[in-house]
Amino acid sequence: MGRRSGNFSLEIKQSVRDLYDDYAAVLDAMDIEGWAGFFTDDALYRVIARESYALGLSHATIYCDGIGMIKDRVTMLDKVAVYEPRVLRHFITGVRIHSVTDQVIKASANFQIIESLFDAEPQLLMVGEYRDEIVMAEAGAKFRCRDAIYDQYRVRTTLIVPV
């Protein structure tokens, strides 16, 4: 997987950590429009089962190829979808940088998402691993490829918002 995270500059490590933290904060605030700003125009975003990912399959629970599809998802959630109000909390740990080449950072992290519905106790929605390609631009770090690989056999409830 390349060098350990400890061998990269503090600036790169902080940029990646800030990107992950800001991403989680935007989703926890249900700022779906803000979520789209974390991706490059040519981004690939997938929420995919670990088994499918391991087999190299391309089908995913959520699949967005390019900023147009990402923005369509935002529009669908903001204007069309009807779903029960919820609160999400994203917990991201174990951030690792695997390589840095030509302004592309390959990184990974563990994630856990807790979902709270109005009339129920909080429950574990999803747990897994992010595998990312991050590019550094003038506007800051952005995801060029984000795979949210979930560990469970199935998604417990409807997956409404991005992971």
**Structural domain contains residue 157:** no
Residue 9 structural domain: 5-150
Tell me the C-alpha distance between 43 and 32, whole Å.
Answer: 16
**Structural domain contains residue 159:** no
**Residue position matching structure tokens 């990646």:** 16
CATH number at residue 38: 3.10.450.50
Share of the chain above pLDDT 90, in %: 61
**Structural domain contains residue 81:** yes
**Cβ-proximal residues to 135 (8 Å cutoff; 6+ apart), any chain:** 40, 103, 104, 105, 141, 142, 144
**Structural domain contains residue 106:** yes
Provide the pLDDT confidence category of residue 102 given band limits of 50, 70 and 90.
confident
End-to-end CA distance of the chain: 24
**Structural domain contains residue 23:** yes
**Structural domain contains residue 43:** yes
Give CA separation, 63 vs 48, 87, 109, 136, in Å: 8, 23, 20, 23
The count of residues in the chain is 163
**Number of separate domains in the chain:** 1
**Structural domain contains residue 162:** no
What pLDDT sits at residue 7? 79
Cβ atoms of 48 and 64 closer than 8 Å: no
pLDDT of 13-64, one tens digit each? 999 999 999 999 999 998 988 999 999 999 999 999 999 999 999 889 899 9
What pLDDT sits at residue 55? 95
**Structural domain contains residue 78:** yes
